């Protein structure tokens, strides 16, 4: 398989939140053929306004950057905290800017949850992603049990119990990306965008 590029989005704006450190650990655990890039533009996104998300209108620069990174990625991994039983506003704002984006349709996405007791936001987030026509690689988040444990990326990656669900996440994304690429190739052939080679024909 060709190299895989994943975009990791932390729903927390804290510099060293458990969600961000968990995604950094995911990067440390990735095999050479998988590149994981953190998205660092969450705080720069303007408040979503449908009046500014109209066909033919130039999007805000930060939104253009988000969509470009989504388009360039083979899949997305999201780790979100839970605030008052909900998804934090900064992450929901980013998703709102993507609702009308064709770049997300069918794209594999995985949820990583470092707080086993936080379940409400995960359910809400999964429903939002399904509504956006993204392809959840698992209906259940990959849970990394960080309760009362060290939360640095290195400590997570070095702990077998904590690293295991992250490795499972990477494995699931590799499989999902392969299927996603196959579906894109089939769609191109079906639309006539790719012609069959004449070699060997009589």
Half-sphere exposure (Cβ direction) of 160: Cα atoms closer than 13 Å: 0
Which residues have a Cβ under 8 Å from the Cβ of 52 and sit 6 or more positions away? 46, 59, 60
Question: Whole-angstrom Cα distance, residue 108 to residue 75?
Answer: 5
Question: Whole-angstrom Cα distance, residue 76 to residue 37?
Answer: 10
CB neighbours of residue 78 within 10 Å = 27
pLDDT at position 200 is 45
Task: Specify the 3-state DSSP secondary structure of 4.
Answer: strand
pLDDT at position 15 is 86
Q: Quick check: 112 and 85 in contact, CB under 8 A?
A: no
For 77, list phi and psi in degrees, rounded to 5.
-120, 125
Return the C-alpha torsion angle 77, 108, 73, 193, nearest 10.
180
pLDDT at position 177 is 97
pLDDT at position 198 is 43
pLDDT at position 199 is 44
pLDDT at position 101 is 95
Nearest to 31 by CA among 154, 202, 167: 167
Question: Whole-angstrom Cα distance, residue 20 to residue 34?
Answer: 18
pLDDT at position 189 is 87
pLDDT means per 10 residues, the chain with 202 residues, are 92 93 98 98 97 92 98 98 95 97 96 93 97 96 84 93 97 97 88 54 38
Q: Quick check: 162 and 25 in contact, CB under 8 A?
A: yes
pLDDT at position 151 is 81
Which secondary structure element, helix H or strand E, spans residue 35, and what is its range?
Answer: strand 34-38
Question: Whole-angstrom Cα distance, residue 170 to residue 30?
Answer: 7
Which secondary structure element, helix H or strand E, spans residue 9, and what is its range?
Answer: strand 4-10
Task: Specify the 3-state DSSP secondary structure of 76.
Answer: strand
């Amino acid at each position: 398989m060709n190299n895989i590029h994943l975009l990791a989005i932390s729903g927390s704006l804290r510099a060293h939140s458990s969600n961000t450190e968990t995604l950094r650990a995911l990067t440390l655990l990735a095999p050479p053929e998988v590149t994981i890039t953190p998205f660092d533009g969450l705080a720069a996104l303007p408040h979503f306004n449908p009046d500014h998300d109209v066909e033919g209108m130039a999007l805000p620069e930060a939104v253009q950057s988000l969509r470009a990174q989504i388009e360039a990625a083979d899949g997305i991994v999201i780790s979100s905290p839970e605030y008052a039983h909900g998804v934090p506003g900064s992450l929901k704002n980013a998703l709102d800017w993507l609702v009308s984006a064709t770049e997300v349709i069918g794209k594999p996405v995985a949820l990583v949850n470092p707080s086993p007791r936080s379940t409400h936001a995960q359910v809400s987030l999964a429903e939002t992603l399904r509504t956006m026509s993204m392809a959840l690689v698992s209906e259940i988040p990959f849970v990394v049990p960080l309760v009362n444990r060290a939360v640095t990326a290195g400590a997570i990656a070095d702990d077998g119990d904590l690293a295991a669900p992250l490795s499972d996440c990477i494995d699931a994304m590799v499989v999902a990306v392969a299927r996603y690429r196959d579906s894109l190739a089939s769609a191109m052939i079906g639309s006539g965008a790719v012609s069959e080679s004449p070699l060997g024909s009589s």
